[in-house]
Structure 1
Amino acid sequence: MRCLLIEDYLPLRDNMRECLVEEGFVVDDCGAGDEGLWSAENHSYEVIILDIMLPVIDGLSILRRLRKLHDKTPVIMISARDSVENRVEGLNAGADDYLVKPFALAELVARVRALNRRRYDRESHIICIADLQIDTLRKVVTRGEREIVLTRLEYRMLEYLAHREDQTVSRMEIGEHVYQDHDSGNSNRVDVYISYLRRKLNSEGESDLIRTVRGLGYVISGRSP
């Protein structure tokens, strides 16, 4: 899952990015408001983590701009401003959550995950598709009684498809959400990793849960085609 992190204090930004990456997220980060706004307007994200005090364009202005454009990406505002009035202002501007500095990185990760579940209308961190189970907290994948060992990239691809269960997902969307370099599906990299996933998921002759939709992309579903 891809996050956008906009924070001008480099040591804090580095710590947040490293923590999120370690937890399995793909992270774009920047330190100026204009750069952050450009990224938010030109790429798709599961969650945006947005500081209020930023150079060039402040966080509240960025948030109001995105909401004016009907961008519904969940936003966590982060700030040292801890008064009730500050929190209300951020939430009224369209933020989905407000986190006061200093905060524990574990809490940030938990809030990002919570917003991601809400974005995809998931009540639990466990995703079940037929006999496939994905534990998005532990990053453990099982099929029946068998645990399936995946690389980080394979896991991100599977989790993204699973969040979009029963929906056709294009190669471009997969590239945008799972590759650090915003690979847009112009190469065969997505097809190659889908084949790796199928091989591991179906290694004992199970039915194929990932289907190719010719000319459009892929869909994961426990339903019969």
Structure 2
Amino acid sequence: MRVLLVEDEAGLAETVRRGLEHEGFHVEIAGNGVDGLWMATEFDFDVIVLDIMMPGLSGYEVLRGIRAGDVSTPVLMLTAKNGALDEADALDMGADNYLTKPFSFVVLIARIRALMRRQSPQQREILTVGDLALDPSQRSVRRGGVELSLTPREFGLLEFLMRNPGTVVSKSEILRNVWDSHYDGPDNVVAVYIRYLRSKIDIPFDRTTLKTHRGVGYQLAD
């Protein structure tokens, strides 16, 4: 699931990004309203988390530009303000939910997932490779109708591979998109999680969907 976080407080943005990525989300950050508006209208995201109080373009202006550009991506507004009028303004402009700082990270995650569940079946994106199906909004994976249980990191890894079906992706690409472009942990972490994932999506079903190309990368193909 791809999340755009538009937040000018660098420390808060980094904290939220790390927390969301730990839950299996892929997060892009825009540090100001101008960049946020451009990214929101140029790229596809599942949810936009948008701060209101920012230099340049405010969150209200960004939201207005998003909706004027016919972008229907769910928007969750973040602000240090606290008042019914601020919330009403955001909702009237097209926001889907509203969260006041300081906020509970647990509540943030719950509201993001709630926004995804509100989308109609026609709007929801279902990723498929053969009989393997992944629903980013419902956080569910099925193989041949059998529901699979994945950890957040395994889910994020599978989602990235399913968004690139048939493509051999390198370890560095996986680390950048599923972990963190600044990741400095063990070198074998990708190989370890590939084994975890293979033990859940392939081995029990006698399949070889997830393939290793030694020295090159990994490929998910039917």
TM > 0.5 = yes
Residues 1:133 and 2:136 aligned together: no
CA gap of 1:38–1:124, structure 2 versus 1, over 3 A, is: closer
- Equivalent residue letter for 2:21: V
Q: CA deviation at 1:126?
A: 4.5
2:78 alignment partner in structure 1: 78
1:29 alignment partner in structure 2: 29
Q: Is contact 2:157–2:174 with CA below 8 Å preserved after alignment?
A: no
1:154 alignment partner in structure 2: 157
Q: CA deviation at 1:130?
A: 3.6
RMSD: 3.5
1:96 alignment partner in structure 2: 96
Query: Residues of 2 paired with 1:98 and 1:16: CA distance?
Result: 16
Query: Residues of 1 paired with 2:209 and 2:8: CA distance?
Result: 43
2:184 alignment partner in structure 1: none
Q: Secondary structure at the match of 2:107?
A: helix
1:168-216, CA deviations, whole angstroms, 9 ceiling, x for partnerless residues?
x7759xx9xx96867xxxxxxxxxxxx9978962324557999xxxxxx
Q: Is contact 2:148–2:200 with CA below 8 Å preserved after alignment?
A: no
Q: CA deviation at 1:157?
A: 3.5
Count of residues in Structure 1 that have an aligned counterpart in Structure 2: 177
CA gap of 1:8–1:43, structure 2 versus 1, over 3 A, is: same
Structure 2 unpaired stretches of 5+? 126-134, 178-193, 211-219
Query: Residues of 1 paired with 2:175 and 2:88: CA distance?
Result: 34
Query: Residues of 1 paired with 2:149 and 2:204: CA distance?
Result: 21
- Where does 1:72-221 land on structure 2 (aligned, <5 Å)? 72-119=72-119, 120=124, 126-128=140-142, 130-135=144-149, 138-139=151-152, 151=154, 154-157=157-160, 201-206=201-206
- Where does 1:41-80 land on structure 2 (aligned, <5 Å)? 41-80=41-80
Q: Secondary structure at the match of 1:77?
A: strand
2:18 alignment partner in structure 1: 18
Query: Residues of 1 paired with 2:82 and 2:52: CA distance?
Result: 12
- Equivalent residue letter for 2:160: M
- Equivalent residue letter for 2:15: N
